[in-house]
Chain A
Amino acid sequence: MAVKIQIRDLNFFYGPAQALKSINMDIYENKITALIGPSGCGKTTLLRLMNRMSDLVPDTRVEGQVLIDGQDIFEKSVDVVNLRKKVGMVFQQPNPFPKTIFENVAYGPRMLGTNDKQALSKIVEESLKKAALWDEVKEMLNKSGMTLSGGQQQRLCIARVLAVNPQIILMDEPCSALDPISTLKIEELMMDLKKEYTVIIVTHNMQQAARVSDYTGFMLLGELVEYAVTREIFNVPKDKRCEDYITGRFG
């Protein structure tokens, strides 16, 4: 089983406050890895470091390494545009652009230099198919992406990420704004996506982590307390704090 991302002694600071404390973690290729833990434990911070969305926050500092395919993403020579093309991100709130469905999906490829209409059409169709949205929207590609339902919007956002042909997809509580049926659809989609992509998901919903993920990491106060195969974490947690959280005694 190939390791896609290696996190080595990772510390992260917002100003003087330390948000991540010496994280060590191997994330496996073509698996779904879930990060769980109470609010403020650093799971979203960790996720956002993996494609350097953390750069957007001023006054922050990173120590340690995040190696993707053996390459440290914090090295000066790394082009953040290429990194984000390789490591896509789906956000908590579905955030389609105020553009047509077609233009939403075509945005990434356009920004990376593809302008040929036919090539774009092909990318848009393939991406929407992979995101299991094509059949619902193929007749209305020129309608605004914002006219779709919440669940459809989130799948549109996933299609938008797939259009730039990433290898890793980061999902930051992608279902927290969705109803149970839309959530189910996204979860089915994730199971599909892991055949081609490495998926990392932050979730507050422990049932969701148990349902979809292969590996689960439990975080608390900036530390990765326990990280193992999902079944083990949920059935035989080794750490007392992890057990308390999973059984609902806190958090």
Chain B
Amino acid sequence: MKISPRVTHSIAWGVCWAAGLLSLAFLLVIIGYVFVNGIGSISWEFLTTNPQGGLKGEGGILSPLVGTLYLVALTLLIAVPLGVGAAIYLSEYAVNNWFTKMVRFGVESLAGIPSIVFGLFGFALFVIALGFNFSILSGSLTLACLCLPVIIRTCEEAIKAVPGTYREASYGLGATKWQTIMHVILPAAIPGIITAIILTVGRIVEETACLYVTMGGSSNMPTSVWSNSRTLSLHLYYLAMETTAVDKALATGVILILIIVVINFVTRWLSNRYVAMTRGGNR
């Protein structure tokens, strides 16, 4: 029996719809579960006290929260300039020879390596060999290595997407290559670079494995980049594995999700405002 195209169309439509709905449902169930079970434990005290330790997971999440912010700021400070620089090199300067092919191959390969491997590398290099000990700095440097491939690739795409006509116009006015990159190409690529930063922030906030072996995990309030510290994700892990305070782990999860959502919204909003200012519309 032959099924008519109309019927196949209807079936395909139904299947795709169901798949989309199902994946959305998973997401909503997970987030909903975390929120419903976690939100009850969130209080002002929870946000403003340090973890007290113990089997019951006494205390709040202030020091992991501060540790997370430290880590995000420091990692971005290290990884973004490096990544954007590498992306500029690859898209604007590099000729297609064996060296750039190797760089590209390296970048692609690094993106697929499990984070715990980066963690062990960071442990060996930053914690031990360079003597940075378990610290926010060691964690940031390790995370920077982990995030670089994504930053480089996303920024390279953003730079390549800048229309060639901008370059021509700039060169035509007597600008040098460097002036063209700084004043025309990078500003035009800002929205793509911001996407890279958002992805990176997400990665920093979510990462545990490679921080487990580089950052130490102290619940004391960090005082500098040399402090032994933990992030919210790491704290969540400790709570879930070493205490009975599942409710506090879920509450920490709520705060984590909120942080990511807020960072996403703020950066998108800034990016859109920038686009509106320079291009006069969300184009």
Q: Does B179 contact A (CB under 8 A)?
A: yes
Of the candidates A82, A93, A111, which one forms a contact with B165 in the assembled complex, judged by CB atoms under 8 Å apart? A93
The answer on a CB contact under 8 Å between A89 and B172 is yes
Given the contacts A144-B278, A144-B279, A85 and B174 also touching, CB distance less than 8 Å: yes
A200 to chain B: closest CB distance in Å? 14
Residues from chain B with a CB closer than 8 A to the CB of A88 are 172-173
Most interface-central of B170, B172, B281 (chain A CB within 10 A): B172
Across the interface, name the chain B residue whose C-beta is closest to A89. B172
A35 to chain B: closest CB distance in Å? 18
* CB within 8 Å of B: which A110-126 residues: 110-112
B192 to chain A: closest CB distance in Å? 13
The answer on a CB contact under 8 Å between B187 and A84 is no
Of the candidates B175, B187, B281, which one forms a contact with A99 in the assembled complex, judged by CB atoms under 8 Å apart? B187
A73 to chain B: closest CB distance in Å? 14
Q: Does A40 contact B (CB under 8 A)?
A: no
- Total interface residues on A, using CB and 8 Å? 31
Across the interface, name the chain B residue whose C-beta is closest to A92. B165
Q: Does A143 contact B (CB under 8 A)?
A: yes
A 47-67 binary contact with B (CB < 8 Å = 1; else 0): 000010100100000000000
The answer on a CB contact under 8 Å between B165 and A84 is no
B 172-195 binary contact with A (CB < 8 Å = 1; else 0): 111110010001100110000000
Residues from chain A with a CB closer than 8 A to the CB of B165 are 91, 93, 95
Across the interface, name the chain B residue whose C-beta is closest to A82. B174
Given the contacts A95-B163, A95-B165, A95-B166, A108 and B173 also touching, CB distance less than 8 Å: yes
A102 to chain B: closest CB distance in Å? 12
A 98-111 binary contact with B (CB < 8 Å = 1; else 0): 11100000011011
The answer on a CB contact under 8 Å between B278 and A161 is no
Given the contacts A88-B173, A107-B183, A95 and B278 also touching, CB distance less than 8 Å: no
- Cα separation A81 to B175 with both chains bound (whole Å): 7
Q: Does B171 contact A (CB under 8 A)?
A: yes
Most interface-central of B173, B176, B184, B187 (chain A CB within 10 A): B173
A97 to chain B: closest CB distance in Å? 6
The answer on a CB contact under 8 Å between B171 and A157 is no
Residues from chain B with a CB closer than 8 A to the CB of A95 are 163, 165-166, 168-169
Of the candidates B174, B175, B176, B278, which one forms a contact with A98 in the assembled complex, judged by CB atoms under 8 Å apart? B278
The answer on a CB contact under 8 Å between B173 and A53 is no
Residues from chain B with a CB closer than 8 A to the CB of A100 are 277-278
Of the candidates A81, A93, A99, which one forms a contact with B176 in the assembled complex, judged by CB atoms under 8 Å apart? A81
Residues from chain B with a CB closer than 8 A to the CB of A111 are 170, 173-176, 179, 183
- Cα separation A95 to B281 with both chains bound (whole Å): 16
- Cα separation A227 to B167 with both chains bound (whole Å): 32
A 160-183 binary contact with B (CB < 8 Å = 1; else 0): 110010000000000000000000
The answer on a CB contact under 8 Å between A91 and B279 is no
* CB within 8 Å of B: which A181-197 residues: none
- Cα separation A143 to B184 with both chains bound (whole Å): 17
Q: Does A147 contact B (CB under 8 A)?
A: yes
The answer on a CB contact under 8 Å between A147 and B173 is no
The answer on a CB contact under 8 Å between A144 and B280 is yes
A201 to chain B: closest CB distance in Å? 15
A54 to chain B: closest CB distance in Å? 11
A-B contact pairs, 14 of them (CB 8 A): A82-B174, A84-B171, A89-B172, A95-B165, A98-B166, A98-B279, A99-B187, A107-B170, A107-B175, A108-B173, A111-B183, A146-B283, A160-B173, A161-B173
Given contacts A51-B172, A91-B169, A112-B174, 7 further A-B contacts (CB under 8 A): A98-B279, A100-B277, A108-B173, A144-B280, A146-B279, A157-B169, A161-B173
**Residues of chain B whose beta carbon lies under 8 Å from any beta carbon of chain A:** 163, 165-176, 179, 183-184, 187-188, 277-281, 283
Nearest 9 A-B pairs (CB), nearest first? A147-B280, A144-B280, A95-B165, A108-B173, A98-B278, A89-B172, A85-B174, A84-B174, A111-B175
